[in-house]
Every structure is written in structure tokens, then in C-alpha cells.
């Protein structure tokens, strides 16, 4: 079967595929990968069950496409939020806010990504590796310019991702709201003190 990702879809086909991915995000997020079924997903998308196989080969292939799509959307949101900013700390601040806003709009992201570790470990690792790539590049530039302290950029990138991830979990996921201003200020102050050179 041809991979629809590599085929030219009509505008209607793209809309149907997007509906299936949106339904999968809700169903996988609410039911989990094991309990979710193609019947539930097509029902949530409002399409015939046979239509599913025009776009995806299996439940697992849909899940993989969903994780990749969510990851790409998050990376694009971060890129859009930080475009044109000259200060490395302004990039970190805008990226922090954009991440929290994205997971507020996609609250099932946490559960879906964690399931990926058990459904497809390579997919799980790819999600985080791709997310880290842009941060590593940005950090390397800031370190080379002397605006951030020179450290292992990959280690710093994963540290920042961990901070963002747990702050998002604590407030956005558990309480359903963005962190209060003092939390945002504390996190960004901590990051600035760790990354910027002492004068």
C-alpha cells in the first residue's frame, strides 16, 4: 500500500487525514494505545472505517504519524515564537511560554509521548532528539558569542527540556492552567543565572 505521506493528497484528502489525526490525539490520550481501536478513532473523526486504510496502514502507523506530527507542530510553534529575537535569554523566555501554550492546547501530548516509549522506543527517542536539535543549535551560537557560558550544549538542552516538561506537567497538566507569574519568573531567573556569564 502506498504511503499517503509520500503521495499527493487532494485538499479533501488532507482534511480527512487531519481529522483522523485529531481524533487519534483525543482517543489515544483518553483511552491509551492498547485500549484505543480503529473503530473508536474513525467514529470520533466522523469517517467510515474503511477510509482509515486509505491514509494509514495500521493503528501503530497512525500512532507514529501522530507523535511525529505533534512533535513537528511543537517545534514549529517554538520556531515561530522565537523568530527574530536577538537575545538568547529572550529566546529561552519566548520558547518557555510557547511550550506551555502548546501543551495547554494539546493536553494529551504528555500521555501520548509517554506511551510511545512502550509502543515504539525508536519513535519515542526520535521525538526528543528532534526537539533537542534546535535548542542545541541555539545554545551553541549563544555560547560561541559569549552570551551563554560555554558548556556541553546537548546536556544543557536536555536540562532545559526537563525543566519545561516538569513545569508544564505540574501546572498545565495537573491544574489545567498556565503557571502563575512568580513561577515563570523563578524558572526564567534560574535559567538566566545558570546560563549567562557572571559580571
Task: Check residue 37 and give its pLDDT.
Answer: 97
Ramachandran bin of 146, using left for φ above 0, alpha for ψ from -120 to 50, beta for the remaining angles: left
Structural domains present in the chain: 1-57 (1.10.10.60), 59-195 (1.10.357.10)
Q: What is the pLDDT of residues 27-46, one digit of tens each?
A: 999 999 999 999 999 999 99
Q: Given this model, what pLDDT does residue 9 score?
A: 74
Exposure of 110 in the CB half-sphere (CA atoms within 13 A): 18
Q: Does the pLDDT at position 2 exceed 90?
A: no
Q: Report the C-alpha gap between 18 and 47 in whole angstroms.
A: 12
Residue 50 has pLDDT above 70, yes or no: yes
Residue 170 is classified by DSSP as: I
For the full predicted model, state whether its pTM sits above 0.85: yes
Q: What is the mean pLDDT of residues 148-161?
A: 98
Amino acid at each position: 500500500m502506498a504511503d499517503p505521506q509520500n503521495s499527493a493528497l487532494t485538499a479533501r484528502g488532507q482534511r480527512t487525514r487531519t481529522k483522523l489525526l485529531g481524533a487519534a490525539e483525543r482517543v489515544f490520550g483518553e483511552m491509551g494505545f492498547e485500549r484505543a481501536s480503529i473503530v473508536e478513532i474513525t467514529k470520533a473523526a466522523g469517517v467510515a472505517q474503511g477510509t482509515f486504510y486509505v491514509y494509514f496502514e495500521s493503528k501503530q502507523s497512525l500512532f507514529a504519524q501522530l507523535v511525529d506530527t505533534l512533535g513537528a507542530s511543537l517545534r514549529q510553534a517554538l520556531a515561530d515564537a522565537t523568530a527574530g529575537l536577538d537575545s538568547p535569554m529572550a529566546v529561552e523566555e519566548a520558547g518557555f511560554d510557547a511550550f506551555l501554550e502548546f501543551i495547554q492546547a494539546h493536553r494529551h501530548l504528555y500521555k501520548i509521548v509517554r506511551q510511545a516509549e512502550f509502543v515504539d522506543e525508536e519513535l519515542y527517542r526520535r521525538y526528543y532528539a528532534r526537539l533537542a536539535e534546535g535548542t542545541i543549535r541555539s545554545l551553541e551560537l549563544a555560547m560561541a558569542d559569549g552570551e551563554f557560558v560555554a558548556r556541553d550544549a546537548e546536556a544543557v538542552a536536555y536540562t532545559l527540556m526537563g525543566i519545561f516538561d516538569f513545569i508544564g506537567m505540574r501546572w498545565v497538566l495537573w491544574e489545567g492552567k498556565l503557571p502563575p507569574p512568580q513561577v515563570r519568573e523563578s524558572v526564567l531567573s534560574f535559567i538566566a543565572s545558570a546560563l549567562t556569564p557572571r559580571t
